Amino acid sequence: MKKNNNIINKEKEITRGIVVSHGVSMGKALVLTSDIPYVPKYSIMRSQIAHELDRLEEAIQKTKQDIRTIKKKAESEIISANLNYFDAHLLMLDDPVLQTQIKTDIHNSLLNIEAIVDNALNAIAKKMSSMDNEYFKERVADVRDIQKRVLFHLLGKKQIDIQSLAEDVIIVSHDLTVSQTANMDRRHVKGFITEVGGKTSHTAIFARALELPAIVGISDIRSEFKDGDYIIIDANHGKIIANPTVKNIKLYETAKHVYERFIKKLSFLNQLPAESTDHHKINLNANIEILDEIDSTKTHGAEGIGLFRSEFIFLESIDLPSEERQFEVYKEVLTRMNNMPVVIRTIDLGGDKLTKEHEAYQESNPFLGWRSIRYCLSKPEIFRTQLRALLRASVYGKLEIMFPMISGVDELLMVKEFVEMVKNDLRKEKIEFNNDIKMGIMIEVPSAALSADALAPHVDFFSIGTNDLIQYTLAVDRGNEKVSYLYNSLHPAVLRLIKMTISAGESHNIPVEMCGEMAGNPINSVLLIGLGLKELSMSSVFIPEVKKVIRSSSYIEAKKLADEILALGNVDKIEKHLMTFMRTHFPYLIDKIMS
């Protein structure tokens, strides 16, 4: 390990926050500052105008250089990107109307150049977002990007590009957007610490996918570190240690190796079925976000992919991925999974997974708004492109298509009609696809769970998305740490909706899977199989432990436990009952949670 000067500072231990991804890791802190920097405003003398304009010219040249460097990197790495995006940014910086506006403003108001630029670009962004024109609305995010870059240079701040890092870092940030997470330099980012977020926020899900330790929801954490501070994240015990002593560094390096060995040790389970002691078989599948995770689904013993969050293809690329690009991705998953079932979910954008278009639109309730299937139905071109790519790929393996956030039968029928239209187009074009492809829906909105019996005749399977089902049932934002104490998968209302969905599936003879994070917590495994679930899908890392619990459980006992729990009316009683059962049968699990 490289010698680090900061380790002689005083050691500090922080135990606040919510662990969202386990593991131990260490590296230098990379503290990300907020989006648009604070812009000071002060008066200048007329004689200073020329100097202020020179400063602006210098900042513009530096910004242009940044954009050219990013464009070069994108050209070498991103096959599908529309690189015109960068040229549009460069053109904006040379816009003569904007430059004249800035010169007039500085002469009239005699304010510093940062304040002038900030005002001018705020006015442009405001005007564009109020226009009744989708194209201009979508460009607002570009204006904001330029505004941020120029201001950073004017203020002499360093803008950190987490897409290409030179050394191992732990990111310390207020929040990370899903596209920041998807695009970061995976070789060097060793963990995340954020001020906001919850266990099922998409950044947390991504941290688990990449097997990076992460702790979120630690208010004001950025004020406690500076760039370069050496940090240890022990996400197995919810601890962050800044400026550790040499003794502690050694101790945690050992802890890291012990944990890695423990994970490896569970790998003997990979080839064994997830079957209870009384021979009740459960299918354990993997949730994936990116193609890099495919190998890990196999090394952890997944029997298929239960959820491929296809929106990450969109979040990783700069522009909309073409039909051909998507087809290649879907074909690759199917081919690499060797005829194992692969459930690809159509894009679930919106909520906290924002495209530039969503950022520009700025909804007041994004999780209740233009998200997921609603977004797809309002964007027929995007939806059609994805469905064509999926159907064309369906001949390469066992593909099943899943639609997210369905809220009722009418919406589902619209989706099915749309799929038929796309199938007809392909037939006319004589393009091959699997006509019997299975199509299912996510049950993640209470209205869908409550009408599961009406939805069931129209689909081939259900998959329960507890991450959203909990947030919508309990009215608790899944990413808000202030209300995270209310976000509980064991709330009786949630358990009853899960049970209703399973019963509707049983009476209509369609399989019901669970793919929300609840499925990956081994504490829940006995309860979930007792409720009647036969398929669980989770981040690959959780499969071995869940399998271990299932292989030591009796299905008869699991059913009894589920009945007892369903009869209880509040979270406290349910948690106590479940913990007592698990403590008796799986004391090692409880010790692990409590340690």
Residues within the interface to Mg ion (CB under 5 A): 444, 465, 468
Task: Give the nearer residue to Mg ion in terms of CB position, either 353 or 398.
Answer: 353
Provide the token pair at 222.
């950025």
> 96-109 vs 113-130: helix axis angle to the nearest 10?
130
Q: How far is the CB of 516 from ligand PEP (least distance, A)?
A: 3
Q: Would you say 154 and 201 are in contact if contact means Cβ atoms under 8 Å apart?
A: no
The distance of Cα 411 from the centroid of its chain, to the nearest Å, equals 25
Cα 587 to Cα 383: distance, rounded to the nearest angstrom: 48
Radius of gyration of the chain, Cα coordinates, nearest whole angstrom: 26
Closest distance of CB 180 from ligand PEP, Å: 17
Given Mg ion, ligand PEP, none, residue 466, with its beta carbon under 5 to 8 Å by kind, binds: ligand PEP
Residues 300, 265: contact at Cβ < 8 Å? Answer: no
- Is residue 452 a contact partner of residue 500, using CB atoms and an 8 Å limit? yes
Paired strand residues for 400: 343, 438
Residue-wise DSSP of 113-158: HHHHHHHHHHHHHHHHHHSS-HHHHHHHHHHHHHHHHHHHHHTTPP
Q: Which residues pair with 14 in a beta bridge?
A: 240
* Cα–Cα dist 210/222, whole Å: 23
The nearer residue to Mg ion, 463 or 553, going by C-beta atoms, is 463
Angstrom distance (rounded) from CA 561 to CA 570: 16
Q: Which residue is nearest to Mg ion (CB)?
A: 468
Out of 89, 153, 202, 491, which one is annotated catalytic?
202
Q: Residue 309: name its binding partner from ligand PEP, Mg ion, none (Cβ under 5 to 8 Å by kind).
A: ligand PEP
d(CA 415, CA 406): 9
Decide whether 243 or 467 has the Cβ nearer to ligand PEP. 467
Residue type, 76: S
Does 279 qualify as catalytic in the annotation?
A: no
If the CB atoms of residues 74 and 347 are measured against Mg ion, the closer one turns out to be: 347
535 binds, among ligand PEP, Mg ion, none (CB under 5 to 8 A by kind): none
Q: Pick what 515 binds: Mg ion, ligand PEP, none; C-beta below 5 to 8 Å, kind-dependent.
A: ligand PEP
What's the min distance (Å) between Cβ of 471 and Mg ion? 9
Nearer to ligand PEP, 468 or 535 (CB): 468
**Could you tell which of ligand PEP, Mg ion, none binds residue 305, using a CB distance below 5 to 8 A set by kind?**
none
Closer by beta carbon to ligand PEP, 297 or else 467: 467
Query: With b meaning 16 or more CB within 10 Å and e meaning fewer, what string describes 128-144?
Result: bbeeeeeebbbbbbbbb
Look at residue 481 and give the partner it binds from Mg ion, ligand PEP, none, a contact being a CB closer than 5 to 8 Å depending on partner kind: none
Q: What are phi and psi for residue 549, nearest 5 degrees? A: -65, -45
376 is catalytic: no
CB 171 within 8 A of CB 195: no
Instruction: Tell me the C-alpha distance between 488 and 471, whole Å.
Output: 9
How far, CA to CA in Å, does 371 sit from each of 131, 137, 355, 459, 537? 22, 17, 11, 21, 23
Cβ 199 to ligand PEP, closest distance in Å?
11
Taking the complex as a whole, the smallest distance from the CB of residue 352 to ligand PEP amounts, in Å, to 9
Q: How far is the CB of 353 from ligand PEP (least distance, A)?
A: 8
Mind spelling out the 3-state secondary structure of 367-429?
HHCCCHHHHHHHCHHHHHHHHHHHHHHHHHCEEEEEECCCCCHHHHHHHHHHHHHHHHHHHHC
CB closer to Mg ion out of 444 and 535: 444
Bridge partners, 353 (sequence order): 350
Decide which of Mg ion, ligand PEP, none touches 516; Cβ closer than 5 to 8 Å per partner kind. ligand PEP
Interface with ligand PEP (CB under 6 A)? 200, 205, 307, 309, 348, 444, 465-468, 515-516
Contact 291, 79 (CB under 8 A): no
Shortest CB 311 distance to ligand PEP, Å: 8
Query: How many other C-beta atoms can be found within 10 angstroms of the C-beta atom of residue 563?
Result: 12
Of 24, 35, 36, nearest to 212 (Cα)?
A: 24
To ligand PEP, the closest distance from the beta carbon of 444 in angstroms equals 5
CA–CA distance, 148 with 154 (Å, rounded to integer): 10
- For the CB of residue 537, give the shortest distance to ligand PEP in the complex, in Å: 8
Distance, in Å, from the CA atom of 60 to the CA atom of 62, rounded to the nearest integer, reads 5
User: Which is closer to ligand PEP, CB of 63 or CB of 194?
Assistant: 194
Residue 86 or residue 206: which is nearer to Mg ion going by CB?
206
Shortest Å distance, C-beta 372 to ligand PEP: 8
Partner from Mg ion, ligand PEP, none binding residue 293, C-beta < 5-8 Å depending on class: none
CB atoms within 10 A of CB 594: 7
Catalytic positions are 202, 515
